Amino acid sequence: MSGVDGGPGAAEDHVVLLDDAGAPLGVAPRATVHTRDTPLHLGFSCYLFRPDGRLLVTRRALSKRTWPGVWTNSFCGHPRRGEPLAQAVLRHGRHELGLDVATDGEPVLPSFRYRAVDAGGIVENEICPVLLASVDRDPAPNPDEVMDWRWVRPGDVEALVDLAPWAVSPWMVEQVPELRAAGWTAPGGAQPGVA
């Protein structure tokens, strides 16, 4: 998943390594972690909704190391050691989308976990809580992170995942059915697929 490249605090840019039970083991520089043998680490995924219930999907920049050019959820990232989840969401939302994303940090899928290998052999291996949040304006994406974006009906995302899972990120392919099974509701009560 994407993270913050360069910029202020880049020397601090690390991921939290986890044991199989999800307990922290330490940290490693983010730039060195995603390889063909990626250790289990902490991430997050966030799905952003407008007040009308539409969901923001983004297309990963072609320069991304993993899954370049695929459509995915609104944004993802990695919390730093000791960083509250809500603060990590705010930091990544600003960096990737130019949006202040406020959340109480309570994931709708708190224990989501996945492992996937991209076409180049790079592995994603994360415990990745999934959050829903609301925004009331369009993003101003960082082109190093996001090459395109759309506001869509969540029901259309569900259909896309069902019909063309190869066209979207593997984490979204696994998350969307779990969100559907949990009866996902956009913050503020808008029902996915209704707006």
pLDDT tens digits, 155-195: 999 999 999 999 999 999 999 999 999 887 666 555 444 44
Percent of the chain with pLDDT over 70: 88
For 72-116, how does the pLDDT look when each residue is reduced to its tens digit (9 = 90+)?
999 999 999 999 999 999 999 999 999 999 887 689 999 999 999
Q: Residue 51 has what pLDDT?
A: 93
Task: Evaluate whether 60 touches 68 at the Cβ level (below 8 Å).
Answer: yes
- Label residue 25 left, alpha or beta by phi (over 0 means left) and psi (-120 to 50 means alpha): alpha
Question: Considering the entire predicted model, what is its pTM?
Answer: 0.88
Catalytic residue among 76, 96, 128, 174: 76
Q: 10: helix, coil or strand?
A: helix
Q: Catalytic annotation on 76?
A: yes
The sign one gets for the Cα dihedral 44, 90, 186, 151 is: negative
Q: Catalytic annotation on 174?
A: no
pLDDT at 10 over 50: no
DSSP H helix total and E strand total for the chain: 4, 11
Catalytic residue among 96, 124, 126, 174: 126
5 pLDDT band, cuts 50/70/90, is very low
Burial of 137 by CB count in 10 Å (0-12 exposed, 13-18 middle, 19+ buried)?
Answer: exposed
pLDDT at 61 over 70: yes
Strand 71-72 and strand 55-60: pairing?
antiparallel
Mean predicted confidence (pLDDT) in 142-153: 97
